[in-house]
Structure 1
Amino acid sequence: MTGQLVFAFFVLSAMAFASPGFSQAQQTEPESPVETPQDHAAGAGVDAERPAIERLAPEERHDVEATATPAQVTPQAEAMKKALLALAAGGNEEERNEHAALLSFYETRRFAPLWLDMSGVPTPKATSAMAEIARADDYGLDPRDFTLPAGLDQRAQTAAARVGDQKPETVASDEIAISRAVLKYGRFARGGRIINPSEQLSSYLDRRPQLLKPDVILEGVAASGEPDAYLRGLHPQHAQFDRLRRKYLALRDRSQSAEAKRLLANMEQWRWMPADLGDLYVWNNIPEFMQRVVKNGEVVRKERIVTGQLDKQTPIFTRTLKKITFKPTWIVPESIKVREILPSLQRGGGMMREWQLELRDKNGQTVDWRRINWYRTDIRIFNVVQENGPKSVMGKVKFSFPSQHTVFMHDAYPPDKWMFNKARRTYSHGCMRVQNPIGLAEILLKEDKGLEAAQVREAARSGRNDNEFEIERRIPIHMTYFTALVDDDGKLHTFPDVYGHERRITLALEGKWSQISRGKDHLAPVELDMASAQRRNRYAEDDAADAPPRVWRSNASFRGGFLDSLFGRW
């Protein structure tokens, strides 16, 4: 009998929940009992032909009827479902995700409203959320970006509204409008005004908005007793974001000023930063040309850095530190091989001699570069390397945090320490040269390996070449582009927009996309025009008959040329 009770319960429950808008408050008399295929199973006997519910004891039948009574669809639920299904899916992935989340959220609620009662009167939850959205400018957002229903305040004060004067279609439309505004506010609070900076602004801006899933936002705001506080909590919680916001509020009456726009652009970048920066992290702020090591929110080290040239920028991204290598070997990047080493080889190979570079095949075997016709050979099939030594451009230590950008932090070639004394330190090919890098290694290896400073210095001084220390602890390396920071005393510090990213962000926030100059794609494959090289070689061969014997230029004539190409000169 218990099995029959359970079976009948599921049959009638399926009938009841098949109708959208199910509500315990809208129950009707049960419909006629339903026969199932199981009722006619072989060997069931005459009793099996009776409807399942009639085969239950009276008290069991009463329990099933009370639990599984089907519901009528209310006009409000019908209107909500129809309005949601009529919504356009959206023009981008984020809008389509929000559309799907809305359908799922209200389907789970049986299409019952969250923000309005059945008469269309806003609930306290709606009043709280809409008031916060109207104050969007307090957090650097534009209230005009969020469409809220008009006249809800007046409706709440109108007696006619409280007796159900609003049509279900109006209630549905207003309900959906509030939810869509909440979702859009949540997206913009997390940086969604510029959804893909690396594609929309510059390939060097490898950041993405820290979006929450739309269903998480809807469920979170629905569960919150203070929707306004919940919406405020969607903004970055970093101290710098709040300090910049307070500076912006002081300039609100001059919101179109250059200073206010700068603050907004920097606030937007904080929306792209990881919510958890790490309990220990290295922060390289490129426009400031400064590095900080932060532990438990306190700066424990601050030093100068050298960054990429204007056409060879240091990219903006976050990765985790993987290795610290003492006496590192330098593997020349593809771009330098093609654009600088190859022309030198075609002229005789002065750079290879001056900087003690080696040519190796993909198996690591040394190849004699003097025996190769560089007008007919693609240098990309080889590796060009520099073993660590007195002329090492890597210096004594390298900090690796692998990415598609192939940049890292390292020491500087001793004759180029002058770079750290310049105010504007854009001299590298994209990597960051660190002042006093052994001090940085001492801090990080103490935290990760428990090594004392003397042990670190000894490894750097007398250890073998390519002496690697694998880092086990999670230590993020943050490359940022903040042109405005507020110190602990509340003083605003600003820095030059050396790469133009601040301008790009400002134009995007103002909707002036057509005015943004993205620049080159630094991740595009390096091109090599062998046909042009071969043509140049033919011209050289034609002239060779009348030319005097080749005389190698002295190494001294190349001094500085390679470093000029690597680091630039002022």
Structure 2
Amino acid sequence: MGILSAALSALMLTPAVAAARGAPPPTAPVQIPYQSANLPSSGEVAAFYSGYRSSPIWFSGNAAKPAATEFIQILQRSPLDGLANGAQYAAQVQAALAQATSTGTPQAIAFADHTLSEALVLYAQTMSRPTQGVTYGYEYMRPKPPSATKVLQIAAGSPSLESYLASVANPNTVYTGIRDAAWRQMQASGSAVPDPRVVVNLDRAREMPARGRFVMVNSANQTLYMYQDGIPVGSMRIVVGDNGQHLKNRPDTRTPLVTSMMFYVIHNPYWNSSDILTRLNIAPRYAAEGDKYLKSRGFRVMSDWTHNATEIPASEVDWKAVRAGKVSIRIRQDPGPENFMGQLKFPFANPQDIYLHDTDPADRNLFALAQRTRSNGCVRLENAEGLATWLLGHSPDKSITQAEYPEQLARGVPVFVTYITAQPVDGQLTFLKDVYGWDPAGGTRVASGE
């Protein structure tokens, strides 16, 4: 018999034949029954382990991997992340790990491994929840909590479990800056309960990416930031929606929370008046000044709100009914130096029709205000040309005269219209004035709005 044939025959020996020839039978892997810590994810995790035949995720032999200790520390601070029972889960994990270390039995190691995995699934799912109150321009941008199987497959297959934990716990620099400052203050004060304002702010900050470019519009301090790979590379003052304090006799126009994607810069945009502005501003002025008022502002009465709308004579409009709110009409302003949108518009999909835009010269004084909550919901930019240059990779072409001319970006850029009042400054966490009243009650630490 050849060497290869003999080797193949040896591999094909049955346990009975092997025993008759004096060879030990092959050893079957020992499957420890699933031992649950009864955390809320235990059912999902048990289903994963029922088909999992590899070595424990959190142990190398009888020794716990360093990631197990790191995860306990993550869980201890996880109430800040929104996992309310995180400290309790940390204690359960710590107890299971101590038992496994002291006894070294397969059962104790299995129990600790399962407990760590149950807690990991809960934490990973918490860190992937959609932000409350946010409108998503595209459904694919809405975060989707992963299944237990996905979380544990990644953890088990990761070359570095520590690196995987770090990626889950630190979604972006805005988030980690707020969370780490808050955790230091909790440790220094001995507090076990996080400031609810921090939890809400972290929920708003969680979705921003760690890599690539994105725009963050922070209505809380009325500032826009341009981010590249987690680092702010530019900023500018903005004017955001009013909360009813300045624009009297109008409904609440606070700029909403929006997560979307920007694909175009619009040159020479039209401006379309809202119903409330037409009723309260334009209709009374037309009654007093007639067609002269409309022409001096570049206003036209349009037949409808479609792209194919045509101009209709203002004399055909029942302006008294418009003032009374009984008739709705479309007023469109031509592009030009007096256009309320300025020269540039930055659209992104959202049902509220919120967008960023340039500002006409008459309203540039608004950027000098300390609190810039003076718009009807959209966002006025202090330096629209600078944002366009950053997005496009070149200065906007001022020779373009076509109205509503769209210039496509080389790649879509995420935009996050958010409300971040928590501000880490020199390692300490302070809070901006809550101009919209969206934060829960908390302490009294207040930072400046600039």
Both proteins in one fold, TM over 0.5: yes
Q: CA deviation at 1:344?
A: 7.0
Tell me the equivalent position of 1:282: 215
2:165 partner letter: L
Secondary structure at the counterpart of residue 354 of structure 2: coil
Tell me the equivalent position of 1:341: 278
**Matched ranges for 1:490-509 at <5 A:** 494-503=431-440
Q: Distance in 1 between matches of 2:166 and 2:234?
A: 33
* 8 A Cα contact 1:244 1:486, kept in partner: yes
The structure with more helix, counted as a fraction of residues: 1
Structure 2 unmatched runs, 5+: 1-7, 19-25, 244-251, 444-450
Tell me the equivalent position of 1:558: none
Tell me the equivalent position of 1:269: 204
Q: Distance in 1 between matches of 2:193 and 2:123?
A: 25
Tell me the equivalent position of 1:518: none
* 8 A Cα contact 2:302 2:309, kept in partner: no
Secondary structure at the counterpart of residue 371 of structure 2: coil
2:361 is the counterpart of 1:414:
yes
Q: Distance in 1 between matches of 2:101 and 2:234?
A: 57
Tell me the equivalent position of 2:267: 326
Q: Distance in 2 between matches of 1:357 and 1:256?
A: 61
Q: Distance in 2 between matches of 1:475 and 1:131?
A: 34
**Matched ranges for 1:298-309 at <5 A:** 299-309=232-242
Q: CA deviation at 1:364?
A: 1.0
Q: CA deviation at 1:481?
A: 2.0
Tell me the equivalent position of 1:179: 117
Tell me the equivalent position of 1:106: 49
Q: Distance in 1 between matches of 2:343 and 2:432?
A: 30
Give CA-to-partner distance per residue, 1:299-340, whole Å, 9 cap, x none.
5433211011122122233333222223211233xxx32x44
RMSD between aligned alpha carbons?
4.6
- Taking a change above 3 Å as real, the CA distance of residues 496 and 366 of structure 1, as seen in their structure-2 partners, is same
Q: Distance in 2 between matches of 1:485 and 1:428?
A: 24
The structure with more strand, counted as a fraction of residues: 2
2:303 is the counterpart of 1:364:
no
- Identify which of 157, 166, 189 aligns with 2:102: 157
2:437 partner letter: G
Secondary structure at the counterpart of residue 306 of structure 1: strand
Q: Distance in 1 between matches of 2:116 and 2:390?
A: 51
- Identify which of 247, 259, 263 aligns with 2:181: 247
Give CA-to-partner distance per residue, 1:190-222, whole Å, 9 cap, x none.
254xx5512xxx769998557444323212322
Give CA-to-partner distance per residue, 1:136-183, whole Å, 9 cap, x none.
23464541255736455246434xx74x7x6xxx98766543321121
Aligned residues: 400
Q: Distance in 2 between matches of 1:387 and 1:292?
A: 30
Q: CA deviation at 1:408?
A: 1.2
Percent of residue pairs identical? 22
Q: Distance in 1 between matches of 2:403 and 2:121?
A: 55
* 8 A Cα contact 2:225 2:234, kept in partner: yes
Q: Which has the larger radius of gyration?
A: 1
Structure 1 unmatched runs, 5+: 1-58, 508-570
Tell me the equivalent position of 1:527: none
Secondary structure at the counterpart of residue 115 of structure 2: helix
- Taking a change above 3 Å as real, the CA distance of residues 401 and 171 of structure 1, as seen in their structure-2 partners, is same
Give CA-to-partner distance per residue, 1:402-425, whole Å, 9 cap, x none.
322311111223222221111000
Tell me the equivalent position of 1:316: 257
Give CA-to-partner distance per residue, 1:325-375, whole Å, 9 cap, x none.
23211233xxx32x4435778879549954524132344122345435548
Tell me the equivalent position of 1:529: none
Give CA-to-partner distance per residue, 1:219-276, whole Å, 9 cap, x none.
2322457645542331125333333344224312336599965555434433222343
Secondary structure at the counterpart of residue 411 of structure 2: coil
2:156 partner letter: A
* 8 A Cα contact 2:72 2:90, kept in partner: yes
**Matched ranges for 1:31-50 at <5 A:** none
Q: Distance in 2 between matches of 1:134 and 1:300?
A: 32
- Taking a change above 3 Å as real, the CA distance of residues 360 and 146 of structure 1, as seen in their structure-2 partners, is farther
- Identify which of 208, 211, 215 aligns with 2:149: 215
1:273 partner letter: M
Q: Distance in 2 between matches of 1:205 and 1:309?
A: 22
2:12 is the counterpart of 1:63:
yes
Q: CA deviation at 1:385?
A: 1.9
1:288 partner letter: N
**Matched ranges for 1:184-203 at <5 A:** 184-188=122-126, 190-192=127-129, 195-198=130-133
* 8 A Cα contact 2:137 2:261, kept in partner: no
TM-score by length of 1: 0.57
- Taking a change above 3 Å as real, the CA distance of residues 255 and 478 of structure 1, as seen in their structure-2 partners, is farther
